[in-house]
Structure 1
C-alpha cells in the first residue's frame, strides 16, 4: 500500500467546483476546507471567481500560484478527465472524487477506471469518485457534506449518507469521529487500504466499516485482524440477508448460505463483529471503546427499581446472556449494607438505598465484580439523573462515577450503564471513563451480547488467497465426485459403476447386500426418484434398474453397499468458493430436512480439525452427536475430519467450485458419506489439471 497521508494531512488543498450557494456540495466542501486554513494552504476554484465565505476563488487550476497536493473534484462530470490531466501535470498527489456519472457523461464505460490507472501511473492516488468526502479530526481536514464532531471512532463507508448517519450517532453518543472516509466507487484506493491506514492512527480507538462489495475479502479479513491486534475492535455493517442470493443455488450448501452468512464467518475469522444497523454499530463501538470485553456471559443486574431489574434480566436473556443466582456468601455480603427489603440474589434491587446514599451503587458493583461470579455488571435505571434533577447531588454522583471507573480498571470486568438520562454531566463522565452508558436496556443487552461473542471469537488464521472467482460449471458424476472426495480422506461404501443391465450381476458379486442404486449424473436424486435403497434380492435390483432407466434414460448408474449402522446422525458437509472471501465451509444437521432445520455453522476455509470441532460443537443439534437421551455418542472426530477434507478440496483445487456431502452418516465408530456433489468451475475447467487427484473429477 502506498502512502495515503495526502488524504489525512495534505500541505495544500484545492476545491474544484467550490460554490457560494449553501445548497450545493461545493459550498460544504469549500467551507470545510477553509476550517483547516490555519493548518494548510486552501485554494477555491470557481469558474465565475465567486467569493466564498469571504475568500476569493480563482477560475481554474491554471490560475493557482502552485500545485495543490490534494484536489477535490466537485466539478461537472464532463470536465473531470481534463481536470485530472491538468492537476497531474502540475504535480498533484491525491484526488478526492465527489463527482458522479463520469462514464455516463462521456458515454465511455470504464472511463473512471482508466482515469484511475492514469493517476496511479503518475504516482498519485484517488478516492472515489461518487463519494461523500472525508474528515480527519487530528489534522483539521474536513472535505465532506455534513458536520462532524472530533472523537475516537473511525468510519469507513461505501455509502456516504449511511456513514454520515453513523457519524451523527457517534457524536450523540459522545464518541465523535477520528477519521471518516466515504470510499465511493473504489476505482483506486480501497476500503482495505483505508482500514490498514487506521492501524497506526493513534486517534482511532474503534472502527465501523460499512461495505456492500467486499472485493478481496481475505485482504480485508487480514486487515481487520491487524486492527484487533492493535486494540482497535472492528464493527461491520453490510447488506445481503435477503433470500434473493439463495434462490438459484444448485446445492443445499448454496441454499443454506447467504452472503451475510459468509460475511459473518469472515468477521469471526478476523475477530470482528457483524451488526444489523447503524445504531447497533455505534452502540457496540461505544461499549467497546476502552471497556474490557466480558470473559463470559454471566451478568449481574443492579437497579433501584424492581421492574427495571426484571426487564433488564429478560433483555439480557434474549441476547444469550445469563443472569445467574448469586451465591449465599455474596448475597449475605450485599444484605449487610442494603435495606432489609432489598433483593440480593440477582437481579439486585437496591430498594431505595441509592436515594439514601449514592455510594450504594458503587459498593454493590464492587462486591459483584470481586465475587468472581459474574463477567459483567449492568446498572439500570435512574443513575446518571441524580445530579441533573438535584444539582446538590451532582458532586456526589460524579464521585460514584469515579469509583465505578476504578472498579472496571482494577478488575478488568465491564460495567455497562442503562441510564434514563440522555446526556447529563454524570453520563458524559461515565462515557469519558470507559463506563459505557446507553439510553435503553435493549441497546445495553444487545451490545453486551455482541461484545461477549467478540470475546469468544478472537480470530482464526486463514490460509491462502481467495483464488480465482470462477463461474459455476457442470457437475462431476456421482462416482467421479466421490472418488475425488475419497482421495481427500472421506470414507464411502464400496460401489460399482453400471453402464447396462449386464453389469448388474457382476456388481452384485463384488458387493454385499443390501444395496443402493443411484443415477450417477443427477445432482438431487431423491427429488426425482433417482435413488433406490434397501435392495437385497437380485430381482429387486433388476426391477429398480429397469424402472429407473426407463424413467431417466441411459447414463452411468451406481450400485453401492448400503450403510446399515445404528445410532447414526446425518450431517451435511459442504464447501464452495465465494467471489470475495474464497473457500467457505459449512456443516450442519443434514439429510432431506437440511433446509428445514437450517442448523448450520459456516467458516472461511480451509479449516483445521480444531476449527471443525468448534463448528460441530456450536450446532444447536450437537446434543444428538453427544449421546442425546441415552443414545450412543457418535464419532465427532471423524465428522470433523470430513469437514477438514471437503474444505481442503475446495481451497486447494481451483478446478472445484463447490463440493457437498449430504448426508454424512456419523456413527459411534466412524463417519461414512453416502452422497457426493462436486461442481466444477467453467472458468478453468478446460485446462489440463496438474493434480492427478483431479483427473477423475472431470465429467
Structure 2
C-alpha cells in the first residue's frame, strides 16, 4: 500500500500544480502518436526534480521506465495525477486516487460523464482539479511538463481556455525567439479557474508577461482583479478573446446595449485593469516580444531608421496608424546624422541611409546611437534590409553580425527601445538580435503594431474599482428614474406628473411651453405612441392627452417643458451591469440616429472626471463640442459631470442586472439637459415584476389597437373613394 501524502502539504493554494513532489500519468502509452506517450515523455523529463510514475495496463515499460497497472500498485501516493484514460474510466480512477490521498488532478480526457459531480467529490476531499479537457501543464521554473507539445523556456506565461489556441501561442512564441515560463490549458474549469491561475502567476519568478485566451468572462470581475494584481507586480497581460457574435442577442431592449459589443466591454475592462486586448495570436506574440525585450518600449515618440526612402515612409505611416508620433528632429541632431551619412541621405525623421549601409553596415549602429541618446525620441524602429546583408553577400556576414551585437547593446546603454523589421528575419543576424533582447519582425506593419501595442499597454496603469453597493431596488418608470438622476446631479427640464386632464391643464399654467407629454411607465415611448412633442398651448395639450389616454389608459403621465435651445449637440449616456464584467458606462452620439452612427465609447464604472473627458475626446463627433463651423462651444464640463454621476450610480447597483440610459442628453453653451431617461431591470432582475409587465402588456395592446384602428380608417376611406368613382 503506498504511503499517503500529508494533508495540506505545500504552502501555496495551487502548489500541487506548481511543483509537485511526485507525478503519476494514468493512461501512459508506448505509442508515440497517443496523448499518453506525450504526457509520459514530458513528465519523465522532470524526474531529476520529482518522482514520476507511469500507470497503464498496456505495457510493462515505456521510454525505459517500468509501469504499474494501477495507482494502488505504486510505492507512494503521487501528489499530482494526470488523467489520460477513456472518459468512462476517469471516475473510477479519481475515486481510487482520492481514497489513497492524491491532492491534485490534471484532467486531460474530454467528455467525462458527470464532470461537475466528479469535481465536487474532488474538492470535498480537499483536492484540486484542472480540467477536464485540458491540454496540460508546463512550468519552466520547476521542470514540470505534462502536456502535448514541446516548450522553449522563457518569460511568457500562457493561460488558455482553448488548449489548441494556447498551443499555437507557444509555437508562435518559439518562432519569434520567445520562450514559455508557464503554460496552463484550463479545460472545463470545474474547479481551478482562469482567475485562480492568473493570481497564481503573481509571484512566479520567470514570468515577465502573460497571455490570456478566454472565450467568456462569466467570472470577469475576478479575472480582471487578477490582471490588476499582475500589473502591480510588473507582469503585463495581453488578452485574446472571441468576437462579437453575442451582440445581437444583447441589443433587444436599450439603445446602449445595441451600440456595444462583447469586445467593447472586454476592451473597457482591459483599460481599467491595465491590460491590452489583441486581435490574433500572432499579434499577441508580436506585442509580447516587445514587452519581454531587454528594454521594453515606453513613450509614443519613435524615430524611423531605414536604408530605403520607401520603406521608411511606409514604416512612418504604420507607426502613425498605431497611434505613435514620428517627430521632426532638431537641427542639431539632423546635422549630426548628416555628418555620418552621404549627401543624398534623409536626416529628418524618417532617417534614410540612402545606401550607406551597403558601403558601411556600421552606419546603422552610429545613427541608431545618435537617435537613442538624443532624448528627442523614445524608441527607434529600424526597417528594411539590415539582417539580409549576410544572406545575400557572404563577405558582409561578419560585419553585419558585429553590428548586430553593437546595436543590441544600445537600448540598455540609453534606456530606450530598439525594434527591428528585417527582410532577413530568419537570418543568423536576426537570431543574434533576438538572442540579445531586441525584437525582430518579418514585416514592418507587424513591427509597428507590436511597438504601438507595447507603448499603449505601458500607458495603462490600471485603476482601482469601487466596490460600494446599494441594496435599494432600482426605480421604475420615467418619473422615478428622472428623480434618481436629478439627485445624482443630472439636470432635467421642469416637469409635472399628471394622471388626468385636469392635472395636465394645471401643469400647463405652471410650466413654460412648448410642452412634451409622456406616458411615464413605457420603456420605449416613441414606438408605442407614448410621447408627443411641440405642444404649444393648453388646447394642444388637451388634444394630445385625450388621444393618448384613450389609447393607453390610466397611468402616470408627465408633462415637461421642451428644450428648444439652438446650437445643441445630442449625446447618449448609458450604463449597465454586465453579469460577468460588472458595471459599465457608455457615451456616444445620441438622438434618433444613435444606432446609425454607432459613435460610442465604453469604460468600466465608476469613472473619474479625467476618464470622462478622455471618453468625450475619443468620439468622432467630439469636434462638434468645440464650436464646429462657427457654432458656440458646448459646455463640456457639464457632460463630464453627468458621465461621472451616471457611472457612480450604476456602480452602486453593480450586484443588480440593470440598464440605465439618458437619450438624448442635449448639450449646449449653457449646460446639459437630459430630456429622456430609461432604467430597465433586465429579465429576472429586481423590478422586473408583474406590475411592470402589466404596464408593458397594456402599452403593447394599445399600440396594436391603435395600428388596427388606423388601418381600418384607411380601408374605409379607400372604399368611400371607390364608391364615388375615384381611383
In 2, Cα distance between equivalents of 1:293 and 1:466: 39
Q: Which moved more, 1:342-351 or 1:271-280?
A: 342-351
- The reply to whether residue 579 of structure 1 matches residue 557 of structure 2 is no
| 1:106 aligned residue | none
Q: Deviations over 1:517-559 (max 9, x none)?
A: 1222222333444322222221222222234334445433211
In 2, Cα distance between equivalents of 1:551 and 1:687: 24
In 2, Cα distance between equivalents of 1:527 and 1:467: 33
Residue among 32, 38, 53 paired with 1:43: 53
* Structure-to-structure mapping, 1:374-393, within 5 angstroms: 374-393=377-396
Report the 3-state secondary structure (helix = DSSP H, G, I; strand = E; otherwise coil) of the residue aligned with 2:343: coil
| 1:434 aligned residue | 437
In 2, Cα distance between equivalents of 1:271 and 1:399: 38
Q: Deviations over 1:251-289 (max 9, x none)?
A: 111011111111111111111100011101111101111
- The reply to whether residue 271 of structure 1 matches residue 274 of structure 2 is yes
* Offset, 1:405: 3.0
Residue among 218, 222, 238 paired with 2:241: 238
* Structure-to-structure mapping, 1:654-669, within 5 angstroms: 654-655=655-656, 657-669=658-670
Report the 3-state secondary structure (helix = DSSP H, G, I; strand = E; otherwise coil) of the residue aligned with 2:106: strand
Report the 3-state secondary structure (helix = DSSP H, G, I; strand = E; otherwise coil) of the residue aligned with 2:158: strand
In 2, Cα distance between equivalents of 1:277 and 1:491: 44
* Offset, 1:243: 5.8
Report the 3-state secondary structure (helix = DSSP H, G, I; strand = E; otherwise coil) of the residue aligned with 1:378: strand
Checking the alignment, whether the CA contact within 8 Å between 2:211 and 2:237 is kept in structure 1 is yes
| 1:83 aligned residue | 93
What TM-score do the two structures reach when normalised by structure 1? 0.92
Checking the alignment, whether the CA contact within 8 Å between 1:655 and 1:685 is kept in structure 2 is yes
Checking the alignment, whether the CA contact within 8 Å between 2:87 and 2:109 is kept in structure 1 is yes
Q: Deviations over 1:120-174 (max 9, x none)?
A: 2322211111111111122222111122222221100000011001100011111
Report the 3-state secondary structure (helix = DSSP H, G, I; strand = E; otherwise coil) of the residue aligned with 1:38: coil
In 2, Cα distance between equivalents of 1:357 and 1:522: 77
What TM-score do the two structures reach when normalised by structure 2? 0.88
Residues 663 and 215 of structure 1: CA distance in aligned 2, closer, same or farther (over 3 Å): same
Checking the alignment, whether the CA contact within 8 Å between 1:475 and 1:677 is kept in structure 2 is no
- The reply to whether residue 400 of structure 1 matches residue 403 of structure 2 is yes
Report the 3-state secondary structure (helix = DSSP H, G, I; strand = E; otherwise coil) of the residue aligned with 2:149: coil
| 2:193 aligned residue | 190
| 2:426 aligned residue | 423
Checking the alignment, whether the CA contact within 8 Å between 1:151 and 1:175 is kept in structure 2 is yes
In 2, Cα distance between equivalents of 1:243 and 1:215: 14
* Offset, 1:393: 3.4
- The reply to whether residue 607 of structure 1 matches residue 595 of structure 2 is no
Report the 3-state secondary structure (helix = DSSP H, G, I; strand = E; otherwise coil) of the residue aligned with 1:502: helix
* Offset, 1:421: 1.7
Report the 3-state secondary structure (helix = DSSP H, G, I; strand = E; otherwise coil) of the residue aligned with 2:235: coil
Residue among 403, 406, 409 paired with 2:412: 409
Structure with the greater alpha carbon radius of gyration: 2
Residues 38 and 467 of structure 1: CA distance in aligned 2, closer, same or farther (over 3 Å): farther
**Unpaired segments of 5 or more residues in structure 1?**
104-110, 689-698
Report the 3-state secondary structure (helix = DSSP H, G, I; strand = E; otherwise coil) of the residue aligned with 1:30: helix
* Structure-to-structure mapping, 1:98-177, within 5 angstroms: 98-103=108-113, 111-177=114-180
In 2, Cα distance between equivalents of 1:634 and 1:294: 38
In 2, Cα distance between equivalents of 1:77 and 1:117: 17
| 1:696 aligned residue | none
Residues 599 and 248 of structure 1: CA distance in aligned 2, closer, same or farther (over 3 Å): closer
Residue among 189, 212, 216 paired with 2:215: 212
Report the 3-state secondary structure (helix = DSSP H, G, I; strand = E; otherwise coil) of the residue aligned with 1:343: coil
- The reply to whether residue 482 of structure 1 matches residue 482 of structure 2 is yes
Checking the alignment, whether the CA contact within 8 Å between 2:290 and 2:297 is kept in structure 1 is no
In 2, Cα distance between equivalents of 1:261 and 1:466: 24
Checking the alignment, whether the CA contact within 8 Å between 1:207 and 1:232 is kept in structure 2 is yes
Q: Deviations over 1:592-621 (max 9, x none)?
A: 121222222211112222322222223232
- The reply to whether residue 457 of structure 1 matches residue 460 of structure 2 is yes
Aligned residues, how many?
679
In 1, Cα distance between equivalents of 2:331 and 2:391: 37
Q: Deviations over 1:96-118 (max 9, x none)?
A: 00112223xxxxxxx32332232
* Structure-to-structure mapping, 1:51-70, within 5 angstroms: 51-70=61-80
* Structure-to-structure mapping, 1:460-471, within 5 angstroms: 460-464=463-467
* Offset, 1:401: 2.7
Checking the alignment, whether the CA contact within 8 Å between 1:650 and 1:656 is kept in structure 2 is no
Checking the alignment, whether the CA contact within 8 Å between 1:572 and 1:591 is kept in structure 2 is yes
Checking the alignment, whether the CA contact within 8 Å between 2:425 and 2:440 is kept in structure 1 is no
In 1, Cα distance between equivalents of 2:552 and 2:295: 62
| 1:346 aligned residue | 349
In 1, Cα distance between equivalents of 2:344 and 2:687: 79
Q: Which moved more, 1:558-567 or 1:278-287?
A: 558-567
In 1, Cα distance between equivalents of 2:582 and 2:627: 35
* Offset, 1:192: 1.4
**Unpaired segments of 5 or more residues in structure 2?**
1-10, 690-697, 699-727
Checking the alignment, whether the CA contact within 8 Å between 1:245 and 1:259 is kept in structure 2 is no
In 2, Cα distance between equivalents of 1:266 and 1:343: 43
Q: Quote the RMSD (CA, aligned, Å).
A: 2.5
Checking the alignment, whether the CA contact within 8 Å between 1:474 and 1:682 is kept in structure 2 is no
Residues 366 and 249 of structure 1: CA distance in aligned 2, closer, same or farther (over 3 Å): farther
* Offset, 1:457: 2.0
| 2:720 aligned residue | none
